[in-house]
Amino acid sequence: MSIRLTSSAPSPSLPSRRELQEVPHPSLSFFPSRGSFMRCQAKKKDNTSFTDRILDYIEGGPKLRRWYGAPDLLPKDGSGKEVQEDDSSDGEEIRDAVLVTDGESEMGQMVILLLIVKRTRIKALVKDKRAALDAFGTYVEPVARDANEKSFLKKALKGVNSIVCTEHDGFLSKVKDLRGVEHIVMLSQLAVYRGSTGLQAMINGSLKKVAERDEEFVISSGIPYTIIRTGSLQSTPGGQQGFSFKEGVAEKGRISKEDAARICVEALGTVPRKGLIVEVANGEEQVPDWIAWFEEQLKIAGQQQ
């Protein structure tokens, strides 16, 4: 069964929190829909979608579903009052938001869903603010992207503590002032592009240059960073395999997109003193505690917190 993340009315059947805890987590398949945000497909056959179960678990059901399917949150003409930013300069600015720079991409939306589950304040760069609110409700503060407008950059970074980039879209290299940002997490396909040969190397040539530029900017920004160099991204269910972090594994390895998105979100929990670059693909190693794992990598890199 598949559901589309829009403002359509939710299922009338509300599973209890206990029922949710007792049901094994089905795998999710994410894929972009035409002209809209992604869809989530729950592989487990049940009358209630996995996304609904997540929402029920967070707030016990009806309270959170009220925004999830309520059209009155949006103006009828799709303009004007989607999200009200507090432009007041009085007092110290609270920076507790995570900015997802590619909120309309498949990977960006996976990250957003995982951040919602963690009850994180989320801002996302999008082209269509109405569609973003239809998809994610008030848990996401959408910002219509236009890197050439100073007001856009100021609004996008207002209240932002961390940034997650899952696409090599060049956004960060266009931003000259990242004051207040304390952590950048970047999902990078640079190792895959560098490992390409023959015709594929020619196809990936321009992508490699963009990826190199993005990584160089992040490394030289002076902001603590975590670069996750993954193997080739696959549209396969996450949580089915372990991981491999061996040197060079990203060049030829593969990894589920869902697993890659989860690693990006988990990386937010550990801020390096300077920076950390890790390689990852699906493999045999299990990671029961990502915070402990990232802290161990910092120790290995000589950057103990």
Distance CA 31, CA 41 (A): 9
pLDDT, residue 135, reads 84
Token pair for residue 269? 């929990």
Spatial contact of 186 and 226, defined as CB atoms under 8 Å apart = yes
Spatial contact of 211 and 190, defined as CB atoms under 8 Å apart = yes
pLDDT, residue 38, reads 52
Token pair for residue 204? 């990936």
Amino acid identity of residue 205, one-letter, is: G
| Rounded to 5°, angle at Cα 91 from 86 and 92 | 90
pLDDT, residue 52, reads 52
266 dihedral zone (left: phi>0; alpha: psi -120 to 50; beta): alpha
Query: Residue 75: which of 123, 7, 151 has the closest Cα?
Result: 7
User: Helix or strand or coil: residue 284?
Assistant: coil
> From the first residue on, what is the mean pLDDT of each consecutive set of 10 residues in the chain (305 residues)?
38 38 41 46 47 51 44 42 46 85 92 93 92 87 76 86 89 81 95 85 84 91 96 93 95 95 96 96 96 94 61
- CA within 13 Å, CB half, 152: 16
Amino acid identity of residue 19, one-letter, is: E
User: Helix or strand or coil: residue 157?
Assistant: helix
131 dihedral zone (left: phi>0; alpha: psi -120 to 50; beta): alpha
Distance CA 154, CA 178 (A): 10
Domain ranges of the chain: 2-73, 97-300
In the chain, % helix, strand, coil (3-state, to 5) comes to 35, 20, 40
For 12, phi then psi, to 5°, come to -75, -15
Query: Residue 221: which of 181, 189, 190 has the closest Cα?
Result: 181
Distance CA 261, CA 115 (A): 10
* Per CATH, domain 97-300 is 3.40.50.720: yes
Residues 195-230, buried b or exposed e (16+ Cβ, 10 A)? bbeeeeeeebeeebebbeebbebbbebebbbbbbbb
pTM given for the model: 0.73
Token pair for residue 4? 């589309």
Q: Length of the chain in residues, anyone?
A: 305
